[in-house]
Amino acid sequence: MLEIQERLSSDGYEELRKAAGGAELHITEALDKGEVIGYIAYSYGTDRTVVYGLDDGGDIMLCDGLVRSVMLKSVMKGIKRMLFELDDSCFDKLKKLRFVKGDSRQCGDLDSFMNGCQSCKNNRKE
Q: Tell me the C-alpha distance between 63 and 56, whole Å.
A: 5
Q: What total number of domains does the chain contain? A: 1
- Phi, then psi, of 114 in degrees rounded to 5: -70, -30
Q: Is the pTM of this model over 0.85?
A: yes
CA dihedral in degrees (121, 110, 15, 57; nearest 10)? 10
Domain span at residue 87 reads 2-123
| Closest C-alpha to 53, from 97, 23, 98 | 23
CATH of the domain at 36: 3.40.630.30
| Closest C-alpha to 42, from 65, 13, 64, 62 | 13
Average pLDDT for the chain? 88
Q: What is the pLDDT of residues 22-57, one digit of tens each?
A: 899 999 999 999 999 999 999 999 999 999 999 999
Task: Give residue 124's pLDDT.
Answer: 46
